[in-house]
Structure 1
Amino acid sequence: MDERIVEFITKMHIFSLGVVCDEQPYLCSCFYAYDEINNSLVFASDDSSKHIKAIKKQPKVAINIALDTKIVGIIKGVQATGAAREATNKNVYFKRFPYALALNPKLYEIKLEWIKYTDNALGFGTKLTWSLGE
């Protein structure tokens, strides 16, 4: 994966998660930590949440990570797809969010399969893509 994509994902900490629940689209926002070894995004949630119930029925998800800016020349963001499951590497999350350890959250991960990264600082509308297996 291009190091500029990795740098952006590592720097940010919130993604929007898109799932399908009862045949309806549903979004939520989650704190995450990037697990570079497993190429996944680790996040905390609860089995009773609408998005985790949806993931258990259909693990394919979409995510969005965006830099919050009004300056067109520095717009950056990721659109990605992957498969969600219980996390295999929990340490990466607690290293980034040590206070979460006291809450004993259940951790999940999204194994990234496809990414489109937009970075206007590289030239207006510049997009880099990556797919699992590249």
Structure 2
Amino acid sequence: MAVLRECWVLTLATTVPGEAAPYATPLFYAVVPGEQGDGPRLIFASRPDTTHGRHLAEGPTTVAAGLYLETESIAELRGVQLRGEVVPLPPTAVAARAAYLERHPGAAALLRPDARERLYALTVTWAKLTDNRLGFGYKHEWSFAAPTRDEHRPPVPV
């Protein structure tokens, strides 16, 4: 899904049980390909004390997200709606950190071991592409396997 690699910012929507309203926040991200049958993983950095960080907690947390390429022409509109699960990554997630910093090198100071920022991985379980270049209102959907859970380790091997 080339649009994921072309965009830089996604809008992540989170909720928590008992709260009436969802919360949306823009986040820079990097894409890490999924394993066989798994959806892609979007790696982003944030602080656990933000509203969405509190919603994500220790995860896994079901979320929705959207991203689009800006254009002034409706005939050129392209974007993706996503659903998936987010988990915080451990400091040992070297490949995820490298992917994020390759795309956003200016974030290196934010991701020091003593920093408050941490990395998260959104594993995509469903995606819908809208691409008006292929015809007005053209849509295509994908479904991916949900992350595998083992009670002794997190489901994101990045």
Instruction: Check whether TM > 0.5.
Output: yes
Q: Does 1:23 align with 2:20?
A: yes
Pick the structure with more helix per residue: 1
C-alpha distance in structure 1 between counterparts of 2:34 and 2:79, whole Å: 21
**2:75 pairs with one of 53, 73, 79:** 73
What TM-score does the superposition give when structure 2 sets the normalisation length? 0.76
TM-score scaled by structure 1?
Answer: 0.88
Q: Which amino acid aligns with 2:78?
A: K
**4+ runs of 1 displaced by more than 3 Å?**
none
Tell me the amino acid that sits aligned with residue 128 of structure 1. Answer: H
Aligned amino acid, residue 14 of structure 1: V
Match 1:83 to one of 82, 85, 98: 85
> Is this contact kept in 1: 2:60–2:87, CA < 8 A?
no
- Give the number of the structure whose residues are more often strand, by fraction: 1
Gaps of at least 5 residues in structure 2 are: 112-116, 146-158
1:44, 1:106 within 8 Å by CA — same for their partners in 2? yes
Equivalent in the alignment of 1:7:
2
CA distance in 2, matches of 1:64, 1:33: 14
Q: Is the 8 A contact 1:16 1:64 kept in 2?
A: yes
Alignment match of 1:33 (pick from 21, 24, 30): 30
**Alignment coverage as a number of residue pairs:** 128
Query: Would the aligned equivalents of 1:13 and 1:32 in 2 still touch at CA under 8 Å?
Result: yes
Equivalent position of 1:96 in the other structure: 103
- Equivalent of 2:133 in 100, 110, 121: 121
CA distance in 2, matches of 1:42, 1:61: 14
CA distance in 2, matches of 1:20, 1:37: 25
Question: Equivalents in 1 of 2:21, 2:74: separation in Å?
Answer: 32
- State how far apart, in whole Å, the 2-side matches of 1:51 and 1:27 are: 8
- Larger Rg: 1 or 2? 2
Q: What's the secondary structure of 1:24's corresponding residue?
A: coil
CA RMSD, Structure 1 to Structure 2 (Å): 1.5
Q: Check whether the contact 2:43–2:100 (CA below 8 A) recurs between aligned residues.
A: yes
